[in-house]
Amino acid sequence: MFSGLLFCGDCHNRMYRTLKYKGRGTHFYTCATYRNDVVDRGCTTHYIDNVALEEVVLRNLREAISYVSEHEADFIRELANASAAERDRELSKSKAELAKAEHRIADLDEIIKHLYEDTLSGKLTDARFIKLSSGYEREQEELKALTDTLHRDITRREQKKTDARNFVAVTKRYTDLQELDATVLREFIERIYVYEKDKQTQTQEIQIVYNFIGAFDFTQAADQRQSKQKRDGKASVAAEP
């Protein structure tokens, strides 16, 4: 049921599924880079069994569903703010890069014009002109291709919206989620990244990238909410006469 959803958190290759004959679970998953490259082992195992994976994903989805049902309006607002901030950051980066490329294109126009004038006045031979100008023209072509890409990028980003409402609609279809299946997973999840086990703490991190909203951390959001409530609670108690 996890087919096509599991990726290695470190090399981003797919996770490879293998039948298990011993211990807990019926399957385990490992990084495909690790599995395929028996000589160099370009990555580490990222081993996880299906029981552990199902447990953590189910717990996570249940957390997401309960968080959204308790704080729907806040969730939609928070997500809109967060994604707008992220989008603005990316946009200003692309716009700065675009301005720089356009500036250099204009400079190159000037340089080529001067070279041409020097050729007309006899300071530069035709052969020399061709050699010098062709280098600058090539640079200009490359920059023009870059500005095209950046223009497209900027338009796409300006139109992109995360759709918290679509995600909320999915959670409403599964208010009492008890077990996972392929359909549930695909309704909620775009990708799951499995990280390598931390040998010291014996814990393994898993990141879920949801449909419509990306990698929202519901556990963190719930924790923040709780500690804020505690702070606010204390403040109001202290304010009483």
| Residue 167 Cβ vs Zn ion, minimum distance, rounded to whole Å | 28
Based on CB atoms, which residue is closest to Zn ion, 136 or 195? Answer: 195
Number of residues near Zn ion (by CB under 5 A): 6
| Residue 186 Cβ vs Zn ion, minimum distance, rounded to whole Å | 23
Pick the binder of Zn ion from 5, 6, 8, 194 (CB under 5 A): 8
Query: What single-letter DSSP state applies at residue 161?
Result: -
Per-position DSSP letters for 199-225, written without gaps between them:
TTTTEEEEEEEETTTBS--HHHHHHHH
Range 110-169, binding Zn ion (CB under 5 A): none
Contacts of 75 (CB under 8 A, 6+ apart): 67, 68, 164, 168, 221
Distance between CA atoms of residues 196 and 8, nearest Å: 8
Is the Cβ–Cβ distance between 145 and 195 less than 8 Å? no
Both tokens of 157, joined, read: 């980003």
| Residue 199 Cβ vs Zn ion, minimum distance, rounded to whole Å | 17
Q: Does residue 15 interact with Zn ion by CB under 5 A?
A: no
Distance between CA atoms of residues 230 and 199, nearest Å: 34
Contacts of 6 (CB under 8 A, 6+ apart): 14, 15, 29, 53, 191, 192, 194
Binding mask 39-78 for Zn ion (x = CB under 5 A): ----x-----------------------------------
Based on CB atoms, which residue is closest to Zn ion, 43 or 189? Answer: 43
Pick the binder of Zn ion from 2, 15, 28, 33 (CB under 5 A): 33
Based on CB atoms, which residue is closest to Zn ion, 9 or 132? Answer: 9
Based on CB atoms, which residue is closest to Zn ion, 34 or 75? Answer: 34
Based on CB atoms, which residue is closest to Zn ion, 47 or 136? Answer: 47
| Residue 56 Cβ vs Zn ion, minimum distance, rounded to whole Å | 19
| Residue 13 Cβ vs Zn ion, minimum distance, rounded to whole Å | 5
Both tokens of 70, joined, read: 């308790």
Distance between CA atoms of residues 195 and 7, nearest Å: 9
* Interface positions with Zn ion (CB under 5 A): 8, 10-11, 31, 33, 43
